[in-house]
Amino acid sequence: MAAPVDANQSLTVGAALMYRATRLEVALFPTADLAQYASSGGSGAANPSGNTRFTVRPVIREFTAPLTPSAALDAITAILAEHAPRATLAGIGLALDATIEQRAPDPSAAPEHPAAPEHPVVTMGKLASWQAVPLVALLRERFGVPAAIATLPEALLLGEVWFGAARGARSAVLVDVGRTVAAAIYEQGRLVQRPFVGQIGHLPVAATGPRCACGGVGHLEVIASAQALVRRCIGALVEAPATEALARQLAGGRLEALRVAQIWQMACAGDPVATALMGAANDALAFVALFLLMTLDAEYLVFSGPLIHASTARPSHLEGAPDLPAAANWIQAIRDEVGQLAPPQRSADLARRIVSATLHQRGAIWGAAALPGMARSS
């Protein structure tokens, strides 16, 4: 955690549970600072201190097997007991990689899970212990404070609206390009929270192409997710010795260490395999970004994920790495492509709305910390 916690200070917990419930990040945010952002609508201009971020260092715990819901609550409790034993908690927000549904109150519900007006339940893939878990009720019960939950893309977006690239926006959409491709929508001061909002990974964006894990063809996730790009690049190397040599050099000799930013670097240097993969990915992402912007007329479309860091970094500091030309800025490449796809009279305006996330991989806990305040202000 950051500075020693003042016993009288009111703190809000921002937490994220990710990677199939095997990684937990927890941070404590001064509630007064969060409230200042809330009262200013997240606007930097109305923040007299001019702080764009207050210093918060998360506690990160990795687990070898998925945590059950009660084990996740125990882990958060243990972190708080260790790092802020005397703090007064004002609220807790938790972001997680799951589907969240609102259930109607169940009059026959067990008394330990009282039916709240809103009754969100969480399902995390096929994990047996995470089927229809009344997580908000469990958080309230455990910590005795207002609690709110969101998906990881929703939390990333809320973090960017409150503290990051879309500060002060009334409307914004986020596209996270990582292990999957997923979107989130923010409208009139609220996240649009429905069970399948933004689950665009299985959107067919090409008539042909590799088969998706779901059985479909040409799905966005297989064409454009960072994970799929790395997997497909490595899969293509057996027939592309020049690309393999380049990839090995960039990845320090270990192909399993190849990252998507390096594939972009190879594409910018003219490698044909990387150019084909990144070309198809960028085409699909630019089209989806333009579609979302033209549909929602959002003030910002924020991209998050490892590709936003793929910019001008040169790999030549790596031992034995080829002296490639500096890669183009990936977000600028997407912006340019959106500008070219858009109707001419709107192209500059729409391209300008494409921005990179600025909170990076810690964004989810910032957004999670903002969740209880958003729930209260609605």
> Cα separation of 100 and 347, whole Å?
35
Left if phi > 0, otherwise alpha if psi is -120 to 50, otherwise beta: which for 209? left
Alpha helices by DSSP H, 84-151: 135-143
For the bound state, the minimum distance from the C-beta of residue 212 to Zn ion, rounded and expressed in Å, comes to: 3
Q: Residue 189 or residue 216: which is nearer to Zn ion going by CB? A: 216
Contact indicator for 75, 67 with CB cutoff of 8 Å: yes
Q: Residue 36 or residue 199: which is nearer to Zn ion going by CB? A: 199
Q: Residue 150 or residue 284: which is nearer to Zn ion going by CB? A: 284
Q: Residue 204 or residue 272: which is nearer to Zn ion going by CB? A: 204
Q: Residue 203 or residue 374: which is nearer to Zn ion going by CB? A: 203
For the bound state, the minimum distance from the C-beta of residue 287 to Zn ion, rounded and expressed in Å, comes to: 17
Q: Residue 57 or residue 211: which is nearer to Zn ion going by CB? A: 211
Q: What is the dihedral of CA 291, 94, 91, 74, to 10 degrees?
A: 180
Q: Residue 132 or residue 214: which is nearer to Zn ion going by CB? A: 214
For the bound state, the minimum distance from the C-beta of residue 201 to Zn ion, rounded and expressed in Å, comes to: 7
Q: Which residues touch 289 (CB under 8 Å, ≥6 apart)? A: 175, 301, 303, 334, 338, 354
Which tokens belong to 353?
């709305």
- Which residues are near Zn ion by CB under 5 A? 202, 212, 214, 216, 219
Q: Residue 181 or residue 368: which is nearer to Zn ion going by CB? A: 181
Q: Which residues touch 305 (CB under 8 Å, ≥6 apart)? A: 176, 177, 178, 226, 357
CA triple 227-230-236, angle to 5 deg? 135
Pairing of strands 23-30, 10-18: antiparallel
For the bound state, the minimum distance from the C-beta of residue 221 to Zn ion, rounded and expressed in Å, comes to: 6
Contact indicator for 24, 92 with CB cutoff of 8 Å: no
For the bound state, the minimum distance from the C-beta of residue 216 to Zn ion, rounded and expressed in Å, comes to: 4
For the bound state, the minimum distance from the C-beta of residue 60 to Zn ion, rounded and expressed in Å, comes to: 31
> Cα separation of 350 and 339, whole Å?
7
Q: Which residues touch 259 (CB under 8 Å, ≥6 apart)? A: 226, 230, 251, 306
